[in-house]
Amino acid sequence: MRVKLIFLYSLFTIQIWAQNTEIGKCATDFIESEMRNNDPELDQKFQKQDAFHRNAALSNTQSSKTSATILTVPIVVHVMYGDKTDNISMDQILDAIDVINLDFRRQNEDKINTRAIFQGVATDMEIEFKLARLDPSGNCTDGVNRVQTNLSIDANDNVKPLSHWDNKKYLNIWVVRNILLPNQPSGTVLGYAYRPNPGQSYKRDGVVIRHDMMGRIGTAEGIGRTLTHEVGHYLGLQHPFDNGCFGGDNCTDTPPVASASSGCNLNRNSCSNDSPDLPDQIENYMDYADDVCTNMFTQQQKNIMRGNLNNNRTRGYLISGSNPTNTGIVNGQVLPCRPEVKYSTNSNLICEGESVQFTDRSLHGNPVSYNWSFPGGQPSSSTAKNPTVVYNTKGSYDMSLTVTNANGLTAITEYSVISVRPTGVPVWLNGFSEGFEQWNIANNNWHVESDVDSIDFFTTQKTGFNSAKSAKLNNFDITNKRTVNLITNSIDLTNSKSVRLRFDYAYTSKNNPSSVDMLKIYTSTDCGKTWAIKRNIGGSTLITAPTTNNRFAPNSNAQWKSGDYSIFGANFAPSIMFKFEFIANGSGNNLYLDNIKVATTIGLEEQGLGLSSINIYPNPTAGEFNIELDVVEQDVFNVNILDLNGRQINAVIRNEKLTVGQHKLESNLNGSLAKGVYLIKINNSKGSKIEKLIIQ
């Protein structure tokens, strides 16, 4: 269990066994100690369970680091909210589950930070987690229950009777506003969990966690590893520092630790009684180092957790027999339910004459019939599962969908869901790069929104990362809570299989490190009408330099950090914008952004255009060139030249209907292009293709 102790604006962590007046960063030890003291019989059960864990840790039956059966645990999340501010979204819940799946499967991007000395014991747990799709009565569910209760304000096990599912079938997670344990010493509890014990009831089982510790988006702060830590407890893990240098967590591949770690001290070696004498494994999710420094479980921790999941007296009931089917988590499982209508589009914002691909995403029971309605579109209705609709006239358009199966039907109508712009193209194509060396913020590439008079982002010529320029926000002058946004122009990612956002940033606070601002990253596919949160960057992750009461300007590259994030849901988007939202609390210092880049993996087969081949020659060329297309499906082909930033150059090569057969298109540019690298964009009604052209 994780705890943040706030005292005189500083963060302290104090062990329960060292001083019984404070809870440290996690209070699972405190809860377990209370249980043992109050129930000697339970104490004996814990001793037997610890012996089981010691044997499991050293067992050869689970020693393989790969290729074991993936064990999948069904989850139910009970959102026990005080009011709408802590009634977290489904997206935030899914993000939290994504974090624990990445961490348990060792697919977390920061696994490369595991020090070489521990790389040999760090491993994939081969354990995954899924929201349940069937409730205990066999009814369809999204795996989330929501209960409004004032108990959320000072929650503990008291919220569990209000909403719980059979703990022999589901991992119950209760999300609350604040946690206050009975007989709790001082300290702010962020979450807690019960280790497995035969016969435990739901009241002494599951995970209780604060809403702002769930995931990385929405109300969450940081990178969401409180849940990773607590689920580790739920599956049997202890802290590596339990009982100091001569105690431990029943694992010999986690070096002994005298006391809980804090911060990110790679030089810490608090115990020397191990042979060989290894440093403290602060990378371990079960220690107390900052989330940004934790990145691994060990092989023996895997043995313990999988040992519990393979033992029907502890957690084995979650994965054994018919439970995966009964909870609806089996891949491809057909659920006996009325379908819940849902759909998606490849874009909600298009130009005149473009098409929208509607895709059925209905949940639960499989639909057997579809009834779509598209006023203003061609066709105006459809019974296909995934229809394509063309919109020829600018405006906003509604749609409706009814899905049916033997168990019933559901319907949805959405208004102004498709926005059609006058014919035009986004400014950028399949990528975006801005180092602020040639352009000022005020140009067409950027848009700034600010609720602070005369304070917004601008291009500074005094400092940058590996350069003299960057985007600067004079946050030093903001004295109360304000928001300033830096927004890109539209970017066409039609051909992008994957998308990453990379940028460098520099920031510090004034001399009040407990009060830090927040940088949030959003995307929009409807020209800024709605925004989807993608990342929160705050706390120690945002700070890149020592705090100062003077106006901050980074004086070296060492005072910058780099962000590199996968942007899910942006691939193949024909028009998308990125927003950097800076939320100032009034006590922070200046912020700098530089080298912002949308990096993409581009790929679309020629066959998708009705072509068997594309040949550009000569390439490189001194100026003129030919494009040879082998057309297998007649269509109107548009061929244009773009610069590397995706901006269209006024040099249209061809825009005409091509019949089946080979066609040779001549450039006829008459030397109008300067030397350099360009992009040839070929598109028709079926899609687009990008090829590189070099003029030398």
Look-up of token digits 């009565």: 137
For the question of residue 581 being annotated catalytic, the response is: no
Contact 653, 640 (CB under 8 A): yes
Instruction: Determine contact, residues 149/184, Cβ cutoff 8 Å.
Output: no
Which of 22, 126, 221, 230 is catalytic? The answer is 230
> Across the beta sheet with 188-189, what order do the strands follow?
10-12, 3-7, 188-189
Q: How far apart are CA 115 and CA 120, in angstroms?
A: 10
CA distances from 611 to 138, 630, 662 (A): 50, 6, 10
Apex 210 CA angle, 568 and 264, nearest 5 = 75
List the structure tokens of 656. Answer: 């005409």
Tokens, residue 210:
């604060």
- State whether the Cα torsion 85-87-88-90 is positive or negative: negative
Cβ-based neighbour number of residue 265 at 10 Å? 15
CB-based burial of residue 483 (10 Å sphere; 0-12 exposed, 13-18 middle, 19+ buried)?
middle
Q: What angle do CA 638, 641, 647 make, to 5 degrees?
A: 110
DSSP state of 340: B
Residues 142 and 342: their CA atoms lie apart, in Å, by: 13
For 349-418, the three-class secondary structure string (H helix, E strand, C coil) is: EEECCEEEEEEECCECCCCCEEEEECCCCECCEECCCCCEEEECCCEEEEEEEEEEECCEEEEEEEEEEE
What are the C-alpha distances in Å from 242 to residues 238, 261, 605?
7, 12, 56
DSSP conformation class of 279: P
150 phi and psi angles, rounded to 5 deg: -70, -15
Burial class of 163 by CB neighbour count within 10 A (0 to 12, 13 to 18, 19+) = middle
Task: Name the one residue in this structure whose structure tokens are 């991992």.
Answer: 171
- Residue 27's closest CA among 146, 157, 152? 157
Report the length, in residues, of the chain: 696
* Phi, then psi, of 36 in degrees rounded to 5: -65, -40
Burial 372-400 (b: 16+ CB within 10 A, else e): bebebbeeeebeeeebbbebeeeeebebb
Side chain identity, residue 178: N
- What is the edge-to-edge ordering of all strands in the sheet holding 343-345? 343-345, 354-360, 388-391
Catalytic residues: 230
